[in-house]
Structure formats: structure tokens, C-alpha cells
Amino acid sequence: MAYGNGRSYGDVCLNPDGVLWTTKGLDHFIAFDDETGVLECEAGLLLRDIQQTLVPRGWMLPVTPGTQLITIGGAIANDVHGKNHHVMGSFGDHVLALRLLRTNGEVIECGPTEKADWFAATVGGMGLTGLIAQARIQLRKIAGPWLETENIPYTNLDAFFKLADGSEAAWEHTVSWIDCMSRGEGRGIFMRGNHVAAQEGPQLKQGKKTVPMVPPISLVNRATLKPFNFAYYHFQALKSGKSRIHYEPFFYPLDNLLEWNRIYGPRGFYQYQSVVPRPVGQDAVRAMLQEIARSGEGSFLGVLKTFGSRKPIGMMSFTQPGVTLALDFPNHGERTHVLFARLDAIVRDAGGRIYAAKDARMPRDLFESGYPRLSDFLQYRDRGISSAMSRRLMGS
């Protein structure tokens, strides 16, 4: 199994008792065209290095997730998405070509129009069709590194969906922090932003902080969750309004706190990210929030976002038209798994799916129902590659 920078939350890039192919050495720029914005690079290159090199030259990745400390290969293999799915789709929508190395020695060059079936299997294919060695990517033109943003507090899910629907036409980036402890009401902070043509703006603050140690117990617990979420909501509400901000704190707020996962203690955490169709999305999200509040479990980092109507490019891509809810939960063993079983039932009944790139425990039946093109995808698997995830959900 290929292993990039190890930022997947679940077991998609792990291979216990097997071999990992580290791609960190495949971190070279191969070519860049300043006129067209087409970048050719190796798959181990970090999104951070692309942004820091090419943003000053007026080009940026069109789609980026909440961390830039992942590799190009990982971004393709998990077909990651960002805050602008309703405008730009997912990462695979901007890949022009890729080179795939198979364990039988075969080299496959594929893209949206060349060997498109291999391309569709590999984008979002979780590294199971072969090792992605190189890629050609279309970047987007920007005038500078700043965005005009607006933060808006809201008090319930009705208000969130009105803001989301009303923002899609005029705002490229939309996302919301949601208070998962607000007993199903779903209050939160809605954030939206657009790139601007301004040549001046706030400079990036230097220096990062690091969580220095793993505490003996999780710092995310019943005693801290409610006070933190209450305080965060009201603090952010006080700062509501418009502002100009550098792209790094807007897109990657957690990258400034290194080793942040240590706050969950020695047992770690799970991220639970689901997407459900838009027509049933509001009811399903409300039901999930009620289950979470009832359980006493919860998260500092609840994220709620709507996806656009664009059809996913990969056979196993996570994104689909609808609404996605992502939450981190400290690992409390059986207690946490009981909650997940209740959330699974809501997602299953709504016709949704779980994000495999962040999962470490979803049941096989939910995986199979959530990814209807699984049988097509299996025809392209490299039988010399397996992972903890593939063995858990595909049997090999």
C-alpha cells in the first residue's frame, strides 16, 4: 500500500503485517506552464509546497481540503473535497492525467479522456488500483493570496440551510462550524469567502504551536465539551462580519497547531463524516445531532457543509449531491461504537454514505450500499495491493 504523509484519519493507508510504499521521496516538480497553469509533478509532493511555490506566481490549487500537509497522490486517491464543491467539484475534477504503476510491472497513463475507466477507478480508488507516481493538474489563476470572508452566526438548522442555499450563487467557499452539543438545534457559525483581486492584505503570521505531549486522558470529554462549544460559539459570534484574510488560516486553520491529535489522549479519536441526499438532509442531520447530544459524546470540530450537484468523477468518490456532516469523537471504546451504530442507521435510512478516507470502523453492508459502483471498481484493483481498510471492507 502506498503511504504518503500519513494524514488519513482511518486505516485506508495502513497495512498491518504488510509492506508500505512510502512516496515521500517522490516530491519533485517536473514542469509548470505559467501561461496555462498546468502543473506536472510527482505524487509525493505536498499541497503545501505547491501553494507556497506557485501562489506568488498567481496560481493555486482549485480544490483543497482542510490541511495542506497531504500529498498529491493522497489527494487523488481519496478524491478530496474542499469548501467550494458547489463551484469546483472535487480534486479529481482538475487532474488532467496520471501515471499508475501496477505491481505486475504495468505502467498505465490515464486521464479523463485517455483510458477513462482506469482514471475513474483510480480517482477516489484509495490506492488500490496501483501506485500513483505522477500527475498533471490544472491550477486556477488568482490575483493574490487573500480572500474576502464573512462569518455569520446562526441559531438552528433552518437558518443554516437558508444561508447555504442563499450563498451558493455569489460565494465560492462556504462551510460551517456547528455546535453538536446544542441538542439537535444546530446552532453554529457560517463562513463564506471569495478570492479577491486586491494586491494588499494581512500578512501571514509566522510561527506554529505544537501540542507538547499526549495527556493521560482525552481533553475532549463531557466536562470540557459544553463549556468549550458554548464559549467558541459566542466568541466567534462577537467577531462576526466581513474581513480580508490570507488563504492559509482560511483553508488550513488546524495546520497552525501541530500534533493537535494529541489532545484526544492515548486512545486517539475517530472522525465520522457522512453525506446524505439534500431532500432528506435536514431531517437526517437533525436526527444525528439529537443522537450525539443524547449520548453525551461530542466534538470540538463539527463541520457542516452542502455539496453541489456535480456528479463525482471517481467510481468510489465520496462526494455526492447533498449535505455532509463531519465530527471528531474521542475513542471511548464500546460507548463510542454504540453511538456510531445509531448514526449509521440514520445514514443508511437516508441513502447516504460514510467517507472511507476517514473511516476505521464502518460496517461492510453500509459500505456496499453507500458505494453502488463497488463491483465495477473491483475489476480494476491491483491484486498485489491491500490495506487494513480493503481487508476490512472488501475481504482482501
CA distance 192 to 207: 26
**pLDDT at site 183:** 67
Q: How crowded is residue 111: how many other Cβ atoms within 10 Å of its Cβ?
A: 16
Q: 92 falls in which pLDDT band (50, 70, 90)?
A: very high
With a cut of 80, say whether residue 342 has pLDDT above it. Answer: yes
Over pLDDT 70: what percentage of the chain?
Answer: 99
Q: Give the distance, in angstroms, between the CA of residue 278 and the centroid of all CA atoms in the same chain.
A: 19
Q: In 3D, which of 10, 59, 9, 17 has the Cα closest to residue 254?
A: 9
With a cut of 70, say whether residue 184 has pLDDT above it. Answer: no
**pLDDT at site 110:** 98
CA distance 120 to 377: 9
**pLDDT at site 8:** 92
CA distance 174 to 274: 17
Contacts 24+ apart (CB under 8 A), 93-96: 93/62, 93/63, 93/310, 93/313, 94/61, 94/62, 94/63, 94/137, 94/138, 94/139, 95/119, 95/123, 95/135, 95/136, 95/137, 95/138, 96/38, 96/136, 96/137, 96/138
204-252 pLDDT tens trace: 887 788 988 888 888 888 778 888 888 888 888 888 999 999 999 999 9
With a cut of 80, say whether residue 290 has pLDDT above it. Answer: yes
With a cut of 70, say whether residue 274 has pLDDT above it. Answer: yes
72-86 pLDDT tens trace: 999 999 999 999 999
Residue whose cell numbers read 450500499: 369
Q: 254 falls in which pLDDT band (50, 70, 90)?
A: confident
**pLDDT at site 223:** 79
- 328 SS3 class: strand
Q: Distances in Å between the alpha carbon of 196 and those of 37, 60, 141, 322, 365?
A: 18, 13, 11, 28, 45
359: which DSSP letter? -
29-57 pLDDT tens trace: 999 999 999 999 999 999 999 999 999 99
Over pLDDT 90: what percentage of the chain?
Answer: 80
The span from the first CA to the last CA of the chain, in angstroms, equals: 13
96-127 pLDDT tens trace: 999 999 999 999 999 999 999 999 999 999 99
Cell of 277: 441526499
Span 328-343, average pLDDT: 94
In single-letter form, the type of residue at position 339 comes to L
Least confident of 136-140, 269-273, 290-294, 337-341: 290-294
Choose the most confident range, by mean pLDDT, from 179-183, 231-235, 294-298. Answer: 231-235
Please check whether residue 152 is in contact with residue 190, taking contact to mean a CB–CB distance below 8 angstroms: yes
Please check whether residue 356 is in contact with residue 389, taking contact to mean a CB–CB distance below 8 angstroms: yes
**pLDDT at site 263:** 87
